[in-house]
Amino acid sequence: MKITLKDVAELAGVSRSAVSRTFTEGASVSDKTRQKVEQAAHQLGYHPNALASGLSTGRTKLIGLISNNFHNPIFLEVFDRFTRGLQEYGFRPLIVNLTDETDPAQSIRLLRQYSVDGVVVASSTLPPSFVQAFHDAGLPVVHAFGRVVSDPDFHVIGIDNVDCGRLAARALVERGYRRIGFLGGPRFATSTQDRLVGFLEVAASLSEVSATQSFAEAYSFDAGRAEMLRLIRQETCLAEAYFCGDDILSIGAMSALESEGVAVPGEVGIIGLNDMEMARWHNIDLTTIHQPIGEIIMTTVELIVEILSTETCPPSVRLFPCPLVERGTLRPSQAISRSA
Amino acid sequence: MKITLKDVAELAGVSRSAVSRTFTEGASVSDKTRQKVEQAAHQLGYHPNALASGLSTGRTKLIGLISNNFHNPIFLEVFDRFTRGLQEYGFRPLIVNLTDETDPAQSIRLLRQYSVDGVVVASSTLPPSFVQAFHDAGLPVVHAFGRVVSDPDFHVIGIDNVDCGRLAARALVERGYRRIGFLGGPRFATSTQDRLVGFLEVAASLSEVSATQSFAEAYSFDAGRAEMLRLIRQETCLAEAYFCGDDILSIGAMSALESEGVAVPGEVGIIGLNDMEMARWHNIDLTTIHQPIGEIIMTTVELIVEILSTETCPPSVRLFPCPLVERGTLRPSQAISRSA
DNA sequence: GCCATTGTTGCAACCGATTGCAAAAACTCT
DNA sequence: AGAGTTTTTGCAATCGGTTGCAACAATGGC
């Protein structure tokens, strides 16, 4: 049932080494031998065993993908792109679903056991120290959606969250909102912290603007809805507009506003972040900041592949710009209209 | 850097076999030896190499997951459950994203190369013949969300789609709809075909009921919206209510109805299938048929694990019941109310 | 104290590839 | 044709485990 090197070698009348060499890039085999081998391999339906090959070369063409976002719809795109991207380069993903535990040790052990060639951490909520642990364990690692730290030991690909916070605040101010609110994801998430910094920075720089802040327990619909309900019921008065941690949170918040009879954008404006597919759905129509997820993942895949083929590759940071996408959950801009 | 059996054996002062045996279930080692080995292993931070182990035993604890639904939000749940479930049993998923190609040969080759122990095909659109190919290739396979065929060669876990079609039709009729429409997923999808059969069966059995049918190009928002727009514009008159292929299709269709100013459920009723998380969102509030995805995946994982531990296990079919979930996209039932 | 029985141990072969090395074959070039 | 190069080839060791087998130790029964 199983066809091995040996079978092919025997049929082709050559040594096992010869067969191995015809299947490895850049090895020295004569055309004659190659022909015989290929013909025999084809006839037998032979394909090299990745495990055995991985054992002897130390390279498995497996890439670990670590994430904890499995409930956020943006993960669909992350995942689709990631698997397709790797497939194109002949790599396979080995997935680690972090669920609760945030101790990297266990994941490292697991990925080590399968001798993955590299690791991608795809999460905007895990701290750099988590990613660092993989680097320290000797695994090449890229942090997609990661936080920018000065002089990191690993590659980071993502967006400038502080700047997104600024952009959101400016967008609200430009549209005439004065009491603006930050409704972030979980406090511990680096993306939340960074976006808040940028948001407050802009607010603080404008004397007529006041900002409030609050945090949902997760980047999820339910958490967004719950937190907005709390605000509606507890706050003496709501902000005029909210920058929500991400789109799914925004949708949850909008759901709360709607149930409580608060009109969007009539009474309260909402701006999200991510621009996931749903944001443009007619019955959602969310004004948001576009995060180029596809490009981020593509670049991540390209980078990890490159790292593996070159000896050394100094840690890089690659940030993508995030444009504002105007839809229907903020009142129109009051800035002077520019001529086309 | 890498700790191997040999290192542990030397430190513990025993043979390599002894070390191997302490790490394999049910092997014969004395307590004394086990202690020494465990102590040494702990001290060195040793963990067995899954590849090497896989090579010699032929079992890798890798399970292939094949799917082509990466754009449907229900996949989030499928994926989350699947990875978590496998993790619990000490297995790892190896993902194959089918994108376009529906030729099983390539996937088989790939999964063979990594010597996966078993395969799960998670898709309601792939034909039994696709799954059969894996079985024929000697890979234990479970088809989750698969079509029921009499006397299959492989295990099927899912729902009775024909029956769901009946349930949907009856639900519409009970609520007083007489001209009912089937707005299915792609024609080639077995789930679409089966649901249509059940739907038409009920319609045909009632002289006062007439049914129409049409098909979206995919189980997706865009396809649902496009097809419903087509219906609105081309049909001489719309049906009074539609059974949509699944929730995401329903949401697309509702978006189309809303943009064209057709009220739901005032003028047209909608019933979906899946009961995905979004269906209960306040601004969607979709009446739908609940597909117990969590249970299906859990059972699938349990089953594949069981298959691998028992010698033979005759192909089984396990179907889960699908209750109707009443929400806001159908007019209330006109059936005589039953006393509680 | 001896034999039978059961439980442990280590040796060595094996899983299916890769690869350094030296021998053999195929080329150059006089 | 023969010496000198360059390519191609096969041997054998290796990657990190597992496992059948035979040798050995421990246990119990008498």
d(CA A168, CA B71): 28
Tokens read off for A230 = 């709390």
* Residue A334 confidence (pLDDT): 63
Residues B64, B177: Cα–Cα separation, whole Å: 44
Q: What is the mean pLDDT of residues B6-34?
A: 92
pLDDT tens track for B133-151? 999 999 999 999 999 988 8
Could you give the percent of chain A with pLDDT greater than 90?
85
- A326 pLDDT higher than 90: yes
- Strand C, CB < 7 A, residues 24-63 of B: 28-33, 52, 55-56, 58
Where residue B26 falls (left for φ over 0; alpha for ψ -120 to 50; beta otherwise) is: left
| Paired strand residues for A317 | A156
Residue of B23, B56, B97 to mutate when probing chain A, most A C-beta within 10 A: B97
Mean pLDDT for all residues in chain B = 93
Task: Give backbone dihedrals phi and psi of B165, rounded to 5 degrees, phi first.
Answer: -60, -45
Residue A226 to residue A218: CA distance in whole angstroms: 11
3-state secondary structure B87-128: HHCCCEEEEEECCCCCCHHHHHHHHHHCCCCEEEEECCCCCH
Over residues B228-232, the mean pLDDT reads 96
Q: What's residue A340's pLDDT?
A: 39
How high is the pLDDT of residue A282? 84
Residue of A nearest to B64 (CA): A94
Q: How open is the CA angle B130-B133-B139, to the nearest 5 degrees?
A: 120
Q: Calculate the average pLDDT of chain A.
A: 93
Structure confidence at residue A105 (pLDDT)? 86
Residue A283 to residue B93, Cβ atoms within 8 A? no
pLDDT single digits (tens) A152-195: 899 999 999 999 999 999 999 999 999 999 999 999 999 999 99
Taking only the tens place, the pLDDT of each residue in B301-337 is 999 999 998 867 889 999 999 999 999 999 987 655 4
Give helix B293-309 / helix B74-88 axis angle, nearest 10°: 30
Q: Compute the distance between CA of residue A284 and CA of residue B259 in angstroms, rounded to an integer.
A: 12
Q: Does at least one atom of strand D sit less than 7 Å from the CB of B339? A: no
Q: What average pLDDT does range B50-75 have in this prediction?
A: 94
What pLDDT, in 10s, does the model give residues A205-245?
A: 999 999 999 999 999 999 999 999 999 998 778 999 999 99
Q: Which of A99, A113, A297 to mutate to test the interface with B (most CBs of B within 10 A)?
A: A113
Mean pLDDT, to the nearest integer, of A131-152? 93
Which of A79-83, B105-109, B184-188 has the weakest average pLDDT?
B105-109
pLDDT for B337 equals 45
| Residue B339 pLDDT | 45
Confidence of residue B105 (pLDDT cuts 50, 70, 90): confident
Q: Which of A192, A229, A191, A189 is nearest to A213 (CA)?
A: A192
Q: Can you give the pLDDT at residue B334?
A: 63
Residue range A58-80: mean pLDDT, rounded: 93
pLDDT at A97: 92
Strand order in the sheet with B155-159: A317-320, A155-159, A141-144, A118-122, A62-67, A92-97, B92-97, B62-67, B118-122, B141-144, B155-159, B317-320
| pLDDT value at residue A335 | 52
Chain A partners within 8 Å of B221 (Cβ): 277-278, 281
> Which of A92, A96, A255 is the closest to B114 by Cβ?
A92
Among A80, A114, A278, beta carbon nearest to B97: A80
pLDDT of residue A339: 44
Q: pLDDT-derived band of residue A305, with 50, 70 and 90 as boundaries?
A: very high
Instruction: Tell me the average pLDDT across B49-69.
Output: 94
Q: Tell me the pLDDT tens digit for each residue of A21-37.
A: 999 988 888 899 999 99
Angle between helices A74-88 and A293-309 (to 10 degrees): 30
